[in-house]
């Protein structure tokens, strides 16, 4: 690859990319400055469309699929306070008769939280900072930069490339779901996410649910059997025990075995907690909103059944409702041309020791099964340890490495599906 680049530009690709550093970081900074917290993803589309025009790529904004909100995988708008589904941006590299590669990248970011300069796009010698730098805007930039360099170097693509710039990943995945409901196929799918340039062939799921129970009221100090307050401990303890067991179950799966016994794939989070009762009176209502990770082989309904059984056997009488994220897990094939190529081409020494595994967080990959691809791979620049954090940044050298890998992947004619 370096020789091929050297023929066209008189420089090894790494050296050439190093010269492009400033343009790459300033493009990322420009994108970070646009606040794309859902439902405002479309704010970034004009800038991305300008870059696509410069590449000569066809593009259009695709309306939400008319049957999106009746699909089983649809996430009702609990997370977004009744915001309706939004358009996605679709793009296509000039048509070829090569194998069809669909690339999916989400444009939304999580809210700023306590990030001190979320929309700054601040750049120093090593990093670009801001909300969405790692998750997931650096991936938009490295893909477009790889395509730009391929065009400049006159490198033919080994694939017919179609890109989905999707909305709503962080709030449920309805953007990618909408894209995949349109009748279409793909030979392979690359979902670009902040995986530290390591390829994954599946991911775990998660489900958000409300546990609500009501108790018998009475004056504090009187005996009314087991009160609601005691049940609070039963509920939390049962769910915590369940998450530990599901974690053990996940770690026994083939795609997680290399992580070691101490790894935490499945977690329980409490997102909201509400208790009601008059002062000095026994608690009347108790409600928890929880998010529970699920092993990739359990769907959300199966997960909810297990939660219900667990709470019932703990003697707690509760109402249980799904109330937010319902991300089904996905398990693909641990071998495939795209997965093998990314394992081979990714530069970090780490990847050489890294047998491809299942990702320990959820993403949009699950939706792309509908296109019947031979494989779906999750890969991209940015670190999960930075994603959603209060000091989110991406390493510039990792971006250059990712561009190098993408160019090798997308133009290498030995890579066949």
Could you list the residues that contact Zn ion (CB under 5 A)?
135-136, 193
* Distance separating alpha carbons of residues 292 and 275, to the nearest angstrom: 21
* Distance separating alpha carbons of residues 313 and 309, to the nearest angstrom: 6
Contact 190, 377 (CB under 8 A): yes
Q: How is residue 255 annotated by DSSP?
A: G
Cβ 327 to Zn ion shortest distance, Å: 12
Cβ 7 to Zn ion shortest distance, Å: 37
For Zn ion, give the closer residue by CB, 175 or 295: 175
Cβ 193 to Zn ion shortest distance, Å: 5
Contact 314, 233 (CB under 8 A): no
For Zn ion, give the closer residue by CB, 16 or 330: 330
For Zn ion, give the closer residue by CB, 135 or 392: 135
Cβ 192 to Zn ion shortest distance, Å: 9
Strands 160-166 and 205-214: unpaired
What is the number of other CB atoms lying within 10 angstroms of the CB of residue 9? Answer: 15
For Zn ion, give the closer residue by CB, 173 or 215: 173
Cβ 81 to Zn ion shortest distance, Å: 21
What is the number of other CB atoms lying within 10 angstroms of the CB of residue 214? Answer: 15
For Zn ion, give the closer residue by CB, 242 or 387: 387
Does 205 sit behind a cis peptide bond, omega within 30 degrees of 0 on the bond before it?
Answer: no
Length in residues, the chain: 417
Contact 200, 358 (CB under 8 A): yes
Cβ 383 to Zn ion shortest distance, Å: 11
For Zn ion, give the closer residue by CB, 135 or 160: 135
Strands 205-214 and 319-327: antiparallel
What would the DSSP string read from start to end of 365-377?
GGGGGGG--SEEE
Cβ 361 to Zn ion shortest distance, Å: 8
286-316 in b/e burial notation, b at 16+ Cβ within 10 A? Answer: bbbbbbbbbbbbbbbeebbeebeebbeebeb
For Zn ion, give the closer residue by CB, 145 or 193: 193
């Amino acid at each position: 690859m370096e020789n091929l680049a050297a023929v066209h530009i008189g420089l090894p690709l790494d050296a050439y990319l190093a010269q492009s550093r400033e343009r790459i970081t300033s493009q990322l900074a420009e994108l970070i400055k646009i606040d794309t917290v859902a439902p405002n993803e479309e704010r970034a589309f004009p800038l991305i469309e300008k870059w696509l025009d410069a590449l000569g790529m066809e593009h259009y904004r695709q309306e939400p699929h008319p049957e999106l909100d009746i699909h089983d995988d649809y996430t009702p708008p609990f997370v977004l306070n009744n915001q309706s589904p939004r358009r996605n941006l679709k793009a296509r590299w000039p048509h070829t008769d090569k194998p069809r590669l669909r690339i999916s990248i989400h444009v939304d970011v999580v809210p700023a939280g306590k990030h001190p300069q979320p929309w700054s796009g601040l750049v120093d010698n090593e990093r670009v900072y801001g909300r969405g730098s790692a998750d997931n805007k650096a991936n938009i930039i490295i893909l477009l930069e790889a395509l730009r360099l391929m065009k400049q170097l006159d490198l033919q693509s080994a694939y017919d490339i179609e890109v989905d710039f999707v909305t709503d990943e962080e709030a449920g995945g309805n953007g990618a779901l909408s894209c995949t409901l349109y009748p279409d196929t793909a030979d392979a799918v690359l979902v670009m996410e902040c995986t530290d340039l390591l390829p994954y062939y599946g991911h775990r799921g998660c489900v958000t649910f409300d546990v609500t129970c009501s108790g018998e009221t009475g004056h504090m100090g009187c005996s009314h059997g087991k009160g609601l307050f005691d049940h609070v401990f039963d509920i939390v303890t049962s769910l915590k025990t369940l998450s530990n067991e599901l974690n053990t179950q996940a770690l026994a799966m083939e795609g997680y075995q290399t992580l070691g016994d101490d790894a935490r794939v499945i977690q329980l989070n409490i997102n909201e907690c509400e208790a009601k009762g008059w002062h000095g009176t026994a608690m009347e209502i108790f409600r928890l909103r929880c998010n529970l990770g699920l092993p990739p082989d359990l769907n959300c309904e199966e997960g909810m059944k297990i939660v219900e059984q667990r709470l019932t056997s703990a003697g707690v009488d509760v109402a249980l409702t799904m109330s937010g994220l319902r991300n089904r897990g996905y398990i693909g094939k641990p071998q495939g041309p795209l997965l093998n190529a990314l394992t081979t081409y990714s530069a970090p020494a780490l990847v050489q020791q890294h047998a491809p595994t299942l990702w320990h967080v959820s993403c949009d990959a699950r939706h792309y099964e509908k296109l019947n691809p031979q494989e779906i791979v999750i890969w991209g620049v940015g670190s999960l340890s930075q994603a959603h954090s209060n000091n989110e940044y991406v390493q510039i050298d990792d971006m250059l490495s990712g561009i190098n890998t993408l160019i090798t992947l997308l133009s290498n004619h030995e890579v066949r599906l």
